[in-house]
Structure 1
Amino acid sequence: MDNSRDSGTADVVVIGGGTGGYSTALRAAALGLDVVLVERDKIGGTCLHRGCIPSKAMLHAAELVDGFAEARERWGVKASLDAVDWSALVATRDDIVTRNHRGVEAHLAHAGVRVVRGSAHLTGQRTVRIEGAREDLAPGAPDQHALGAHNPTTGARPESAPRVRDVAARRGIVLATGSRPRTLPGLQSDGRRVVTSDDALFAPGLPGSVLVLGGGAIGVEYASFHRSMGAEVTLVEAADRIVPLEDADVSRHLTRGLRKRGIDVQAGARLLDAEVLEDGVRARVRTARGETRTVEVERLLVAVGREPVTEGLDLAAAGVGTDARGFVAPADWARLETAVPGVHVVGDLLPPPSLGLAHASFAEGLLVAETLAGVESVPVDYAAVPRVTYSSPQTAAVGLSEAEARAHGHEVDVNIMPLTAVAKGMVHGQGGMVKVVAEAGGGQVLGVHLVGPHVSEMIAESQLIVGWDAYASDVARHVHPHPTLSEAVGEAFLTLAGRGLHQQ
């Protein structure tokens, strides 16, 4: 008998263990389905190991560093920052990531999800081959779910030597292989002088100067972090404003806040060329005014977007195709099902209107799992998914921008409430705003846009406002606590409802 290949079956095979993949697996298992989750790297994917979690841990450290300057300059607290212990900071970050990683693996084990390490590719519409497969049986995982032979008496683990495994999916296959940073020709990451968002946090030490290419959320966050850590930062964005997918007033307020912190924001600019030197990078940048500037920095960070990862999946074997940009577009967005019945897709493989955000991937995973289990599920409302940039100042938004609302044919009423118009905004002293976009004449709220400190924690209320199709008058009758930053949200809606108090 040839033991080099194991065949097996499962209700669902999920390829990719990032946020979209593991959320699909957990929900499907909770609904009683037998699930195989295949991951060639670490469960948790980019978000947990290279993106969301480690970057936000570092940004929290940056916020603490900024606190020293605010204490000294605004509040007369004669505190000084001696130094940043990079190794200690990294150790804390890695501990947070490790504990989250173990937690996710424990959840999967408890749910009975069969986690297989290896590279998977499609061999048919309902079949998958896993190369170099190794099964993980974390404590608590039931042995009867193990792929391959096991000892029913002793409960011994299957032999750990890598092998080829073929798995047939009775109900469906879920594609969740995620994305990677886009690169520019001639600017490949070396992990030291030229880095991407995936390896920027793991480059050695703190640079004294950084050029960030890309003014989307990722680029802005890294620019903010490095500035907090004392670096001279130049931020270059090809579009005419940073965070170009957000409302124009968000871009304006964020630009003002970043420049106030000493970040050189260059929108409408582009990189002409760059030369990697022994001790840094020399780049030429064409500004919005047509001037050519030479910028010499210790590190160049490329944050020009991300691209889907599909190579090696052999999508054609199942009859699945990609669009011109490499995304796997569903034929049915209500089920996130491709044109091939039973093959679904979640996460960064999806084109817009999916957002490439971890929390959107969670929602997509829930939807697909429930669809495969035959449970009625509500399609993801991408307009009601919050978008956050965790810089200083932060931005948070949900729903349509003013320009998008008008482009959709809405006549709108708009109200902008400065955060400094409420007492708690004055306390923080970082400026910012609340902008509400609603249908004219007291109609439905179409979008809410925030800039300022801690607005990432304030956007949940607005998610419900937009998601539940509320009117300004609906919000205005609810009392917000005083003094808080959230009070500015309440005040903005009071004004729109004709009951303005501090804003006339």
Structure 2
Amino acid sequence: MDITKTSEATCDVIVIGGGTGGYSAALRAAALGLDVVLAERDKVGGTCLHRGCIPSKAMLHAAELVDGIAEARERWGVKATLEEVDWPALVATRDDIVHRNHKGVEAHLAHAGVRVVRGSARLTGVRGAHIEGAGDFIARRGIVLATGSRPRTLPGLTPDGRRVVTSDDALFAPGLPKSVLVLGGGAIGVEYASFHRSMGADVTLVEAADRLVPLEDAEVSRHLTRGLKKRGINVQVGARLLDPEVLDDGVRARVRAARGEIRVVEAERLLVAVGRTPVTDGLELVAAGLRTDERGFLAPADWDRLETAVPGIHVVGDLLPPPSLGLAHASFAEGLLVAETLAGVPSAPVDYAAVPRVTYSSPQTAAVGLSEAEARARGHEVDVNTMPLTAVAKGMVHGRGGMVKVVTEADGGRVLGVHLVGPNVSEMIAESQLIVGWDAEPSDVARHVHPHPTLSEAVGETFLTFAGRGLHQQ
């Protein structure tokens, strides 16, 4: 139900923001019998659906197809060639996928009876909100804040959607550039570097930290960097971008490498992927007695309920500081938790350690739980087993390297973390989510048989070795 004006002044729950965290909270609350008003100033689905997760993964799938043509020709003797990439056709397919998902979310909300109000919202008190064009609303149960985030940018360098772009507009810039300078080696930067390389661009990837995806296990970073370099991406870690300059036909910047040497890089496009910042402007948090921290996050007073210091006001998604992950699937879980809390239904807190993290580049990375360094820093005595994917037959078939790394408590204790690099590992991590989330021990996993030949065998073999029953791992 989509309305622009209503005389109804009360409801059970007001949700401000219709991204993944907001609409999941609205759907679950409505399913539990609550009267829900959802305020969204743009389109339901948020950044993930319209500018992030869905369109970017659609484009990365197209990139996989392009890479497959090269592999067919160079490795398998299939004499295929790539005539060209029809950019308008590719974009049309991407946009159709986004459109159908958007219509699906709208239909789900309407079927659930959620009142979707188009317009910006601001708080008017601990239970009240004013929605532009619709008036004032009072929530009997509570308010859910789910206003999301926007990309961070470089001081003095304004994105123009053509030469300087952010992750929100990179996919919507005109055409395919012949060269790209990517600033930021987190998941977003790595994915966009991978996509543009698949599409034939010369790519330079600059990361200030000493390794890519610095929040992941160090071995994940090493394998990922090796895979990207093998594909021809110029990876610069421990590097700084100096004096970026916008030209008529692109950008120019000096890059200071880790050892201090400086070289000039010119590219048709500069893609800034240095993180995201919470959006709270116009929300009038002060009207409800709330304020953000120095980084702009709205930290809950009760993480088990994601409830702020003001009872009845909850927060989900990118407004949350760590340990929340800023991931769409984490915000789904947060939305469910908050809705059930408002409905008085018992709900387990979100276990962020058991939420998978995935980078959809080529090669992909996927992980759940603690890295080896994190586990040791927390005082665990650990055992570690690492196995290359090429140690199993299906890994040889793919021929793209990769690895499985498992971190456990010493002497057969519970599994603390699982880390994967390689083809299709985004589809393999769900098993490990259960292993970590249910505090399984290696002997528990080793009892279960993995199908042969698959990449998942490498996960199974790793646990067999832990349990003293190894077959193919030396």
For normalisation by structure 1, the TM-score amounts to 0.93
Tell me which stretches of 4 or more aligned residues in structure 1 moved more than 2 Å: 4-7
Cα distance in 1, alignment partners of residues 138 and 209 from structure 2:
46
Q: 2:238 aligns with which of 260, 265, 268?
A: 268
Letter in 2 for 1:363: A
2:297 aligned partner:
327
Cα distance in 2, alignment partners of residues 222 and 172 from structure 1:
39
Cα distance in 1, alignment partners of residues 69 and 380 from structure 2:
46
Q: CA deviation at 1:399?
A: 0.1
Q: CA deviation at 1:381?
A: 0.0
Structure 1 counterpart SS, 2:181: strand
1:420 aligned partner:
390
2:84 aligned partner:
83
Structure 1 counterpart SS, 2:132: strand
Structure 1 counterpart SS, 2:159: coil
Letter in 1 for 2:108: H
1:29 aligned partner:
30
Letter in 1 for 2:461: E
Q: CA deviation at 1:451?
A: 0.1
1:379 aligned partner:
349
1:9-158 aligned within 5 A: 9-133=10-134
Structure 1 counterpart SS, 2:119: strand
Letter in 2 for 1:34: D
Letter in 2 for 1:16: G
Cα distance in 2, alignment partners of residues 475 and 246 from structure 1:
23
Q: CA deviation at 1:497?
A: 1.1
Letter in 2 for 1:460: A
2:358 aligned partner:
388
Structure 2 counterpart SS, 1:300: strand
Structure 2 counterpart SS, 1:447: strand
Cα distance in 1, alignment partners of residues 179 and 197 from structure 2:
9
Structure 2 counterpart SS, 1:321: coil
Cα distance in 2, alignment partners of residues 129 and 364 from structure 1:
24
- Range with bigger deviation, 25-34 or 265-274: 265-274
Letter in 1 for 2:77: G
Contact conserved, 1:5 with 1:166, CA < 8 A, in 2? Answer: no
2:430 matched to 1:429? no
Cα distance in 1, alignment partners of residues 173 and 188 from structure 2:
16
Cα distance in 2, alignment partners of residues 170 and 293 from structure 1:
61
1:458-469 aligned within 5 A: 458-469=428-439
Q: 2:205 aligns with which of 235, 244, 268?
A: 235
1:341-360 aligned within 5 A: 341-360=311-330
Q: 2:266 aligns with which of 284, 296, 303?
A: 296
Structure 2 counterpart SS, 1:450: strand
Cα distance in 2, alignment partners of residues 131 and 104 from structure 1:
22
Q: CA deviation at 1:7?
A: 5.4
2:409 matched to 1:409? no
Letter in 2 for 1:195: V
2:446 matched to 1:476? yes
Letter in 1 for 2:239: A
2:353 matched to 1:363? no
1:307-318 aligned within 5 A: 307-318=277-288
Structure 1 counterpart SS, 2:448: coil
Q: 1:493 aligns with which of 456, 463, 466?
A: 463
Cα distance in 2, alignment partners of residues 188 and 402 from structure 1:
39
Stretches of structure 1 lacking an aligned partner (at least 5 in a row)? 134-164
Deviation string 1:405-448 (CA, Å, 9 cap, x unpaired) is 00010000000010000000010011000000000101000000
Cα distance in 2, alignment partners of residues 484 and 250 from structure 1:
20
Deviation string 1:1-32 (CA, Å, 9 cap, x unpaired) is xxx98451010000000000000000000000
Structure 1 counterpart SS, 2:133: strand
2:160 aligned partner:
190
Cα distance in 2, alignment partners of residues 206 and 257 from structure 1:
23
Q: CA deviation at 1:273?
A: 1.2
Cα distance in 1, alignment partners of residues 290 and 115 from structure 2:
25
Deviation string 1:340-386 (CA, Å, 9 cap, x unpaired) is 00000000000000000000000000000000000000000000000
Cα distance in 2, alignment partners of residues 493 and 252 from structure 1:
22
Structure 2 counterpart SS, 1:405: helix
Cα distance in 2, alignment partners of residues 7 and 71 from structure 1:
61
Contact conserved, 1:418 with 1:434, CA < 8 A, in 2? Answer: yes
Cα distance in 2, alignment partners of residues 233 and 419 from structure 1:
27
- Range with bigger deviation, 494-503 or 100-109: 494-503
Q: 2:215 aligns with which of 236, 245, 248?
A: 245
Structure 2 counterpart SS, 1:132: coil
Letter in 2 for 1:99: R
Contact conserved, 1:436 with 1:445, CA < 8 A, in 2? Answer: yes
Contact conserved, 1:196 with 1:302, CA < 8 A, in 2? Answer: yes
Contact conserved, 1:6 with 1:166, CA < 8 A, in 2? Answer: no
- Range with bigger deviation, 494-503 or 103-112: 494-503
Cα distance in 1, alignment partners of residues 158 and 369 from structure 2:
36
1:216 aligned partner:
186
Cα distance in 1, alignment partners of residues 187 and 157 from structure 2:
21
For normalisation by structure 2, the TM-score amounts to 0.99
Letter in 1 for 2:72: A
Q: CA deviation at 1:316?
A: 0.4
Residue-pair matches, total: 471
Q: CA deviation at 1:131?
A: 1.2
Letter in 2 for 1:55: S
Letter in 1 for 2:33: G
Q: 2:251 aligns with which of 256, 281, 292?
A: 281
2:9 aligned partner:
8
Contact conserved, 1:272 with 1:283, CA < 8 A, in 2? Answer: yes
Letter in 2 for 1:13: I
Contact conserved, 1:37 with 1:114, CA < 8 A, in 2? Answer: yes
Cα distance in 2, alignment partners of residues 362 and 225 from structure 1:
27
Q: CA deviation at 1:132?
A: 2.7
Cα distance in 1, alignment partners of residues 371 and 133 from structure 2:
47
Root-mean-square deviation (CA, aligned residues, Å) is 1.0
Q: CA deviation at 1:56?
A: 0.1
Cα distance in 1, alignment partners of residues 357 and 448 from structure 2:
24
Structure 2 counterpart SS, 1:420: helix
Letter in 2 for 1:39: E
Stretches of structure 2 lacking an aligned partner (at least 5 in a row)? none
Letter in 1 for 2:307: E
